Chain A
Amino acid sequence: MTISRRTLLASGAALGLLTACGSNTGRDGGGSGGKGPKLSQWYHQYGEPGTEEAVKRYAAAYDKADVSVQWRPGNYDEQTAAALLTESGPDVFEVNGPTLDQIQGGQVVDLTDLFDGVKDDFNPVALAPKTHDGRIWSIPQVVDMQVLYYRKSLLSDAGRRPPTTLDELVDTAKELTRDKAKGLFLGNDGGAGALGGTPLYAAGLTLVTDDGRVGFDDPAAARALAALRTLYEDKSLLLGAPSDWSDPSAFVQELTAMQWSGLWALPAVRKAFGDDFGVLPFPAAGSGGKPSVPVGAYGAAVSARTRHKKEAKDFVKWLWIDRTDHQRDFALSYGFHIPARLSLAKKADALTEGAAADAVRYSTEHGYAEPLLWTPASRVAYQDALSRIIKSGANPESELKSVVRKVSAELERVKKKSS
């Protein structure tokens, strides 16, 4: 038969429509295949080479389900948040949380029973923000932390000791600021994003108290944040660097003498400077202060929309609780993280010497994790105020007062929901 042009166009259009409707979500409904049901597992993109292959290797080694790994570059938090609204999301996923609203909205599965007998082996600081009302909602995979990197030689040339108070940090940064290099890099926004609540903890305060109230309604908070403004006014801060604080490039390229960054940056810094660098916690602010370092953990969570809840839970238990060999490999072989399990962290050779050992010590002595009640809405309100204080010279007291008001309202909201 002959095919007219119209028929061809029409069938082409129909085919196009049909294929556009199909999608591959990496999982299916039935339990076909030799390895049991299909599970889809999501990770955010890790920068270190080898990590992707490693997680795929772990998934392939599991014999009770057919686990397919999705490696997702880009805005991972937004992607998972959107995917959890639909049926096409992951079964098992890595999450920098979950957030309180995800827990209260019933989007993630309660994993408390998986921790029977091993709960005490998990880093308590990392586990705390995964826990709500005594239930645990994700299994910490690795612990990450942030520290202040400094060049030993530059400090000693200037006749300076590593700063132990915030005022000393302000002076040292000013002293080290030269024509070609600034004294301190806290991120291109002047520290509002990277530091977050760290200066408040350094002033002996908290973001949210244990009984669920605002933890920084105190004059010491305003004083600590005013010091950050001084750093900005002194022009001691590096701003507008090509790569932001999470990347050690600015420090390695000697654009700055000190930089706030993550523990993950340590191998790159060591490669560039050998022993000529050290790490510090964020120094104590004011008389009631103490040093502080932020600690956080990506956790493995199970989506409440999964069709294989039991299998998915079995899988995360197998990977992140039973298989300590995989956990050690994941934490230490590629990037530079602290294992979430205390027993593994103790045995990690890479973490027992030099600057790494210092960092690990800070994390246990001065570590704090953002509480679960510190919701994204509160964080935005606080971060906006911090940015205005640092860059525009807004009055810290009045800015903080309005933040306290907003955060109290937000805490009220989530409290109402959980009761």
Chain B
Amino acid sequence: MTTPGAAGAPPGGRWRRLAGPQNRTLWFWAFVGPFALGLIVFTYVPLGWSVYLSFFDAHNTVSPTDFVGFDNYTSMLRNDAFTDSLWTFVVFTAFIVPTTFVLSLSLALMVNRMRRAQAFLRSVFFLPAACSYVVAALIWKMSLFNGVRFGLANTVLGWFGAEQTAWLSTTDPPWYWLVIVTVRLWLQAGFYMILFLAGLQRISPTLYEAAAVDGARPGWQVLRHITLPQLRATSVAVALLLVINAFQAFDEFYNLLSDSRGYPPYARPPLVYLYYTALGQGQNLGLGSAGAVLLALIIAVVTVGQARWFGLGRKED
């Protein structure tokens, strides 16, 4: 057997070697290449550029010359509007993640027990997931929760003699959270219900039968000791996805609360704040990038911590 590249190798030997056995390397790059290229061009280059910008005074320019070191970072961290936005986000996540989790799990448990019309109910609850955040936010803002007497919420309250409430403009009590949270619950509960349903249907019936034989009472005991442990993998995935989705919250906040003159100082999550800083009329791309880098670091730490804690990707025994 001759080694490739030896004196008598056929022409194109190097090409052969690059292409790999049965052209596998070639095909690997043919399929992965475009995606990797897109990832580099549209994700990693902008990411790196954003880090670069964050060290410059970059007003209205993406090729700045005025190096300022960590000034953008210190002013962002001292900026109470930015730190407030982080708190807004923490409060929002602390509420929306458990609520969506419990709601979608309950929906899944209920739908799973249905003997008839299961497919119908599954579709009904899943349907909102197909609706756009923007459209749903506008419906919530303009017809369900508008502040005048003919809004749906105010009409219903009017039957009981309550006076009209400006849901999105009232900060004491913070009614705007009701609007923001309900729109997101409506939109995403159905999607996570489907994930839970899939998990539920994978649980072997023999487990339940064995539990029944052992005298486990149906209801809480079975749920606590059979269903939930068996749903662990699904639950971890759902919790992670919920947190990531909460990090990305922008659409419904922006469409519910912004107006032509800007955004109110409450319920302003970091992405909305950075959008106005970097891409609004201010065009302070350096400061906005610094904020984005800080936010990315926070997200990375939280996600890695969460994955560690839940043991995501660990081999199940």
Measured CB to CB, the residues of A under 8 A from B are 10, 13, 17, 77-78, 81-82, 84-85, 97, 99, 101-102, 104-105, 107, 180, 187-190, 192-194, 196, 238-242, 244, 246, 255, 375-377, 379-381, 383-385, 387-388, 391-393
Residues of B within 8 A of A242 (CB): 142-143, 146, 148
A263 to B115, CA, bound (A): 63
A85 to B278, CA, bound (A): 13
Q: How far is the CB of A63 from chain B (nearest CB, A)?
A: 34
In contact, B148 and A388 (Cβ under 8 angstroms): no
In contact, B279 and A81 (Cβ under 8 angstroms): yes
- Tell me whether A189 and B260 are in contact in the complex, defined as CB-CB below 8 angstroms, given that A240-B168, A240-B169, A375-B282 are known contacts: no
Residues of A within 8 A of B280 (CB): 77-78, 81, 376
Q: How far is the CB of A410 from chain B (nearest CB, A)?
A: 10
Instruction: Give the number of A-B contacts (CB < 8 Å).
Output: 117
Q: How far is the CB of A408 from chain B (nearest CB, A)?
A: 14
A189 to B262, CA, bound (A): 10
In contact, B259 and A392 (Cβ under 8 angstroms): no
In contact, A101 and B60 (Cβ under 8 angstroms): yes
- Tell me whether A377 and B60 are in contact in the complex, defined as CB-CB below 8 angstroms, given that A78-B279, A240-B146, A387-B265 are known contacts: no
Which of B145, B147, B167, B284 has the most chain A CB atoms inside 10 A of its CB?
Answer: B147
In contact, B166 and A240 (Cβ under 8 angstroms): yes
Does chain A have a CB within 8 A of B149? yes
Interchain Cβ contacts under 8 Å between A and B, 6 examples = A105-B60, A107-B60, A240-B146, A242-B146, A376-B280, A383-B261
Residues of A within 8 A of B167 (CB): 240
- Tell me whether A241 and B147 are in contact in the complex, defined as CB-CB below 8 angstroms, given that A192-B264, A196-B261 are known contacts: yes
> Taking CB as reference atom, which chain A residue is nearest B281?
A376
Q: How far is the CB of A345 from chain B (nearest CB, A)?
A: 26
In contact, A388 and B265 (Cβ under 8 angstroms): yes
Known interface pairs A77-B281, A239-B166, A391-B170; 15 further A-B residue pairs with C-beta atoms within 8 A, sorted by A's residue number: A81-B60, A97-B281, A99-B60, A99-B283, A105-B59, A189-B169, A238-B147, A239-B147, A240-B151, A246-B260, A380-B282, A384-B81, A387-B266, A392-B171, A392-B172
> Taking CB as reference atom, which chain A residue is nearest B79?
A406
In contact, B169 and A239 (Cβ under 8 angstroms): yes
Residues of B within 8 A of A238 (CB): 147-148
Q: How far is the CB of A86 from chain B (nearest CB, A)?
A: 8
Q: How far is the CB of A331 from chain B (nearest CB, A)?
A: 21
A392 to B143, CA, bound (A): 25
Residues of B within 8 A of A105 (CB): 59-61
In contact, B259 and A193 (Cβ under 8 angstroms): yes
In contact, A193 and B261 (Cβ under 8 angstroms): yes
CB within 8 A of B171: which of A84, A376, A385, A391?
A391
A190 to B265, CA, bound (A): 13
Which residues in chain B, 266-305, are within 8 Å of chain A measured between CB atoms? Answer: 266, 276, 279-284
Does chain A have a CB within 8 A of B229? no
A81 to B148, CA, bound (A): 36
Residues of A within 8 A of B279 (CB): 78, 81-82
In contact, B259 and A78 (Cβ under 8 angstroms): no
Q: How far is the CB of A347 from chain B (nearest CB, A)?
A: 32
In contact, A85 and B169 (Cβ under 8 angstroms): no
Does chain A have a CB within 8 A of B223? no
> Taking CB as reference atom, which chain B residue is nearest A388?
B265
Residues of A within 8 A of B60 (CB): 81, 84-85, 99, 101-102, 105, 107
**Nearest 6 interchain pairs by C-beta:** A240-B147, A193-B261, A239-B166, A376-B282, A240-B166, A384-B265
In contact, A78 and B281 (Cβ under 8 angstroms): yes
Which residues in chain B, 138-177, are within 8 Å of chain A measured between CB atoms? Answer: 142-143, 145-149, 151, 165-172
A391 to B142, CA, bound (A): 20
Does chain A have a CB within 8 A of B62? yes
Contact with A along B61-74 (1 / 0, CB 8 A): 11000000000000
A99 to B282, CA, bound (A): 8
Residues of A within 8 A of B143 (CB): 242
Which residues in chain B, 192-213, are within 8 Å of chain A measured between CB atoms? Answer: none
A188 to B166, CA, bound (A): 9
CB within 8 A of B62: which of A78, A85, A376, A380?
A85
In contact, B259 and A188 (Cβ under 8 angstroms): yes
Residues of B within 8 A of A391 (CB): 169-172, 264, 266
Q: How far is the CB of A97 from chain B (nearest CB, A)?
A: 8
A377 to B82, CA, bound (A): 13
A375 to B287, CA, bound (A): 15
A13 to B284, CA, bound (A): 38
